[in-house]
Amino acid sequence: MAVTKKDVLEWVRAFAKVIAENKEYLTELDAQIGDADHGANMDRGFRAVLEKLPEGEDVDIGKIMKTVGMTLLSKVGGAGGPLYSTIFMQAGMSIDGKDSFDLADWAKALEAATAGVVRLGKASPGDKTMVDALTPAVKALKDATEQGLSLGEGLKKSAEAAEEGMIATIPLVARKGRASYLGERSAGHQDPGATSTFMLLDTAAKVWANCS
Amino acid sequence: MKKLINKPEDVVLEELKGIELAHPDLVKVHYDPDFIVRADAPVKGKVALVSGGGSGHEPMHGGFVGMGMLDAACPGAVFTSPTPDQMLEATKAVDGGAGVLHIVKNYTGDIMNFEMAADLAKAEGIDVEAVVVDDDVAVKDSLYTAGRRGVGLTVLMEKLVGAAAEEGRSLKEVADLARKINGQGRSMGMALTSCTVPHAGKPTFDLPEDEMEIGIGIHGEPGRTRMKIKPADEVTEMLLTPIVEDLPFESGDEVLLFVNSMGGTPLIELYIVYRKAVEMLEAKGIKVVRNLIGPYITSLEMAGASITMLKMDNDLIKLWDAPVKTAGMRWGV
């Protein structure tokens, strides 16, 4: 079972739609503890991505992911721009040159992406950031690979782990990003970055559920 | 939302067009990527200063581009850091061969994007240094936060360092001066109202008529604490005391006192705050030798004010008094 180039394009397009639909929700979450721009920024970035998505026979998965990464870097701004750019760039480099990938490849790609985000954002699990959704998702993917689960099952487990990580950000006091300026007042609110990250992995699980 | 705009997504672009039409003698505006450069850029042999940040803080930074201040400013979306390609192209456009200084406010996004831009510019052979402004005493600086925010001191730094670059000082000297300024300036702000980010369409937070936020930044984010509103003199004490104690400023010090409007608070109220601040400082034996009063680093239409204090010396006084010709600050010319 493998994810093909066509599936990757479908995932990116589906995520752009999820972001457009949840633009106000993400901005609302950000208004609670940040500066009320996460939804609008992500939407601007992914609308640009839709215009630039490369297609054609000679384009591999790595090229698609890197194009998404570069587009986000030049269109999003804020911390979300470089961080989401890094997810796609690192995953793209990990899968570079391939026309399809399996669960083990995706576990490695998301691990590389998470390492990139941690390096750039200097955040650790528990800081109330997107790392809190990414880290458990990577662990779930690796466990699923070891247990020999199917692609669909593994992706579902990673989305569930990301969702748990996202919900677990609610009581946390932010230690990185703009929410950290609020100190104790940041507790009781769900992190917008962890939320959009969950949406990204949840979209992958849904779109790639029946890859053959 | 009640704003004098057309469409939320066109706010920054239409502002840039307005700046271009209003100040052709001072600046040129470049689009896609968006940045503003002084009209005579690049100035050969002069260290160039590039800053940038989210829009919504006007006149900072675009209004500070011109002789004696910035060489370029990169505007992001409202309250969102600009992107590395803007900073890279601005850096290339203003490099006059003596190197480029990036003035970066300490926010996670600004730091990341400017670091990427500096790496790209260095790869193209441009000598780039970066200084980070983090003067907000409302934020505890520790391993467990993103560090102090860059706020009011940014305005003073851009003026002072701009004058030093205009004098012909080297990139190292200009960068060292910027770090010295950051080391001896402190700020704190408060809000009477929230503000409305155009694409959000409603105020970022609800603040009842009889309450205020102390320790706010410049992005409409809530502050450290919320309390019942107090008279101007008590609010001034609440802002000034942590500033004085943090550095600390001591008897015998000479300072520049900057009372800033967050956008919605009028000058009449800023002068009331200034008056109380001077009284308090005089009582402590601290002498105000220069001042700046007005809306210079704003948070859209937020009502509120911030106070910045910078310890001065003869060199800084001379640089402060040096000529400056920008849309937002102009004297000596």
pLDDT tens-digit profile, chain A (212 residues): 799 999 999 999 999 999 999 999 999 999 899 888 899 999 999 999 999 998 877 889 999 999 999 999 999 999 999 999 999 999 999 998 888 999 999 999 999 999 999 999 999 999 999 999 999 999 999 999 999 999 999 999 999 999 999 999 999 999 988 888 888 889 999 999 999 999 999 999 999 998 86
A35 with B144: Cβ contact below 8 A: no
Tell me the pLDDT band of B141, cut-offs 50, 70 and 90: low
User: A73: which chain B residues are within 8 Å (Cβ-Cβ)?
Assistant: 83-85, 116
Name the class of domain B186-318.
alpha beta
The confidence score (pLDDT) of residue B55 equals: 97
The amino acid at residue A57 is E
- pLDDT tens digits along A172-189: 999 988 888 888 889 999
User: In b/e form, how buried is each residue of A156-167, taking b as 16+ CB within 10 angstroms?
Assistant: bbbbbbbbebbe
CATH of domain A3-207: 1.25.40.340
Residue B222 has pLDDT above 80, yes or no: no
Cβ of B33 under 8 Å from any chain A Cβ? yes
Q: Are strands B128-133 and B100-105 parallel, antiparallel or unpaired?
A: parallel
- For helices A61-75 and A80-94, what crossing angle results, to 10°? 170
- pLDDT tens digits along B43-79: 999 999 999 999 999 999 999 999 999 999 999 999 9
Q: How far apart are CA B286 and CA B197, in angstroms?
A: 39
Residue A87 CB partners (closer than 8 Å, separation 6+): A69, A113, A116, A117, A134, A200
The confidence score (pLDDT) of residue B78 equals: 95
Number of Cβ atoms within 10 Å of the Cβ of B31: 10
User: A27: which chain B residues are within 8 Å (Cβ-Cβ)?
Assistant: 199-200
Q: Are strands B35-38 and B27-30 parallel, antiparallel or unpaired?
A: antiparallel
Residue B145 has pLDDT above 80, yes or no: no
Residue B145 CB partners (closer than 8 Å, separation 6+): A175, A176, A180, A181, A183, B139
User: What chain A residue is nearest to B56 in terms of C-alpha separation?
Assistant: A35
User: What chain A residue is nearest to B140 in terms of C-alpha separation?
Assistant: A181
User: B224: which chain A residues are within 8 Å (Cβ-Cβ)?
Assistant: 181-183, 185
B76 with A177: Cβ contact below 8 A: no
User: A178: which chain B residues are within 8 Å (Cβ-Cβ)?
Assistant: 107-108, 146, 219, 221
B199 is catalytic: no
Cis peptide before B242 (omega within 30 of 0): no
The confidence score (pLDDT) of residue A184 equals: 87
Q: Are strands B185-191 and B324-325 parallel, antiparallel or unpaired?
A: unpaired
The structure tokens listed for B268 are 């009449």
> Which DSSP string corresponds to B38-64?
ETT-S-TTSPEEEEEEEESSTTTTGGG
List residues bridging with B290 in a β-sheet: B256
Q: How far apart are CA B74 and CA B67, in angstroms?
A: 17
Closest CA to A192 of A118, A142, A132: A132
The confidence score (pLDDT) of residue B144 equals: 63
B108 with A178: Cβ contact below 8 A: yes
Q: What is the mean pLDDT of residues B120-125?
A: 92
User: What chain B residue is nearest to A44 in terms of C-alpha separation?
Assistant: B9
User: For residues B151 and B187, is the Cβ–Cβ distance under 8 A?
Assistant: yes
B77 with A44: Cβ contact below 8 A: yes
Q: How far apart are CA B121 and CA B89, in angstroms?
A: 9
Number of Cβ atoms within 10 Å of the Cβ of B110: 27
- pLDDT tens digits along B3-50: 999 999 999 999 999 999 999 999 999 999 999 999 999 999 999 999
Give counts: helices (H), strands (E), chain B.
8, 14
CB pairs under 8 A between A and B: 110
A77 with B80: Cβ contact below 8 A: yes
User: For residues B64 and B70, is the Cβ–Cβ distance under 8 A?
Assistant: yes
Q: How far apart are CA B319 and CA B263, in angstroms?
A: 27
Give counts: helices (H), strands (E), chain A.
9, 2
Q: How far apart are CA A178 and CA A166, in angstroms?
A: 17
Is the domain B10-184+321-331 a CATH 3.40.50.10440 member? yes
The confidence score (pLDDT) of residue B220 equals: 84
Q: How far apart are CA A205 and CA A209, in angstroms?
A: 6
Residue B153 has pLDDT above 70, yes or no: yes
The structure tokens listed for B80 are 């969102």
B112 with A36: Cβ contact below 8 A: no
Q: How far apart are CA B233 and CA B25, in angstroms?
A: 42
Q: How far apart are CA B131 and CA B103, in angstroms?
A: 5
B57 is catalytic: yes
Query: How close A62 gets to chain B, by Cα (Å)?
Result: 21
User: B56: which chain A residues are within 8 Å (Cβ-Cβ)?
Assistant: none
Query: How close B188 gets to chain A, by Cα (Å)?
Result: 13
Query: How close B232 gets to chain A, by Cα (Å)?
Result: 24
The confidence score (pLDDT) of residue B146 equals: 79
The structure tokens listed for B142 are 């520790």
Q: How far apart are CA B333 and CA B325, in angstroms?
A: 7
B80 with A37: Cβ contact below 8 A: yes
Q: How far apart are CA B174 and CA B188, in angstroms?
A: 26
The amino acid at residue B292 is L
List residues bridging with B255 in a β-sheet: B288, B311
Assessment of whether the complete model's pTM goes beyond 0.95: no
The ranges assigned to domains in chain B are 10-184+321-331, 186-318
B197 with A37: Cβ contact below 8 A: yes
Cβ of B55 under 8 Å from any chain A Cβ? no
- pLDDT tens digits along B179-191: 999 999 999 999 9
Q: Which of A34, A74, A77 sits opposite B77 (nearest CB)?
A: A77
The amino acid at residue A68 is V
Q: How far apart are CA B209 and CA B292, in angstroms?
A: 29
The ranges assigned to domains in chain A are 3-207
Q: What is the mean pLDDT of chain B?
A: 96
